[in-house]
Amino acid sequence: MSKSLPPLTWFRAFDAAARHLSFTLAADELGFTQSAISQHVRALEDRLGTPLFLRRHRALMLTDAGRLLVPDVAAAMARLHNATARFLPSSSHPKLTIATSASIAQWLLAPHLRDFQRWHPDITIQILTTVWPDDFSNTNADVDIRFGPPDVVGQGATLLEPSMLQVVAAPAIADQITNPIDWHQLIKFPLIQAIGISTNWSDLAKQVKAPITVTPSIFVDTHGLAVDLAVSGAGIALTHSLISQGPIKEGKLAKIPIEPDIAEEGYYLARKMTTFPDAQDAFVFWFLAKLSLHVHDVEPPRSQGNQAK
């Protein structure tokens, strides 16, 4: 392939913007931000050496060069779609895409997804795992389950609870920790810290007026990995209660008697624009029911076949 060929993302942005005559609507379709679409189009214009759109106040119009480019780009996109479609499983079932934190996928979805499939065998699920908030901009999901502060997760997102930070360890380690806490005894074990959260081990120690300085020795990029390490006996983890609650109930982890702290960042669920609203409703109902002790015995509605709208 020629090195002078612009990236496919630029052509996708141009194609969507040309069809909608709106960077905002193109962003909604592709799952990007409006700024990203504008930047991709501008980059394509710079590469081609000619403007493709006339940018007016609240209006977007194709230039002559843009109109000349549209048919070839649209045809190329259609050919790429047809070329890849043959490799996708043929199914008339709704296909629901879930973009989720890797920790949620590992500790909440994986243990229970068979239950969802039992109730909704006609719904195909695609799970896309992410770590950082920017990862979600590259997905076109029906449901987002992401971790972060309220101003990052976006409008319409629902906080998933419990949303606390707690200290956990494998039972064999937890049994060695006294109550009240002897901090000199506690720091004999490796302390595990998930990065990307506002409250760390040092903050927690200050809040409970620990008599010593506390520094973690293991840093990880997800709460799921922090829980994994704690379950394996690698140390004592400061982690999010939503991820650690399952292993605690199963006896794989035990709480260390340090008062939980409200998490400044949390896990949020957001519904996105979807072709399958009934399938989306079914998944969200099931997922929230799995998290709530108050509705865990509620029988979810069964799907009624392909309900695309």
What residue numbers bound the domain in which 284 lies? 95-159+276-291
On whether the pTM is more than 0.75, the answer is no
Q: What is the CATH number of the domain that holds 207?
A: 3.40.190.10
Angle, helix 223-231 to helix 241-249, in steps of 10 degrees: 30
Residue 3, in any domain of the structure: no
Question: pLDDT in tens for each of the 309 residues of the chain?
Answer: 445 788 899 999 999 999 999 998 898 888 889 899 999 999 999 999 999 999 887 788 999 999 999 999 988 888 888 787 666 554 557 889 999 988 999 998 998 899 999 999 999 999 988 765 554 555 578 898 888 887 776 667 888 888 889 999 999 999 999 888 899 999 999 999 998 788 889 888 888 888 888 889 999 988 999 999 999 999 999 999 999 998 999 999 999 988 878 888 888 898 888 888 999 999 999 998 877 633 333 344 444 443 322
The DSSP annotation for 16-79 comes to HHHHHT-HHHHHHHHT--HHHHHHHHHHHHHHHTS--EEEETTEEEE-HHHHHHHHHHHHHHHH
* Residue 147: closest CA among 285, 263, 42, 225: 263
81 and 104: one domain? no
15 and 46: one domain? yes
37 and 77: one domain? yes
185 and 100: one domain? no
66 and 103: one domain? no
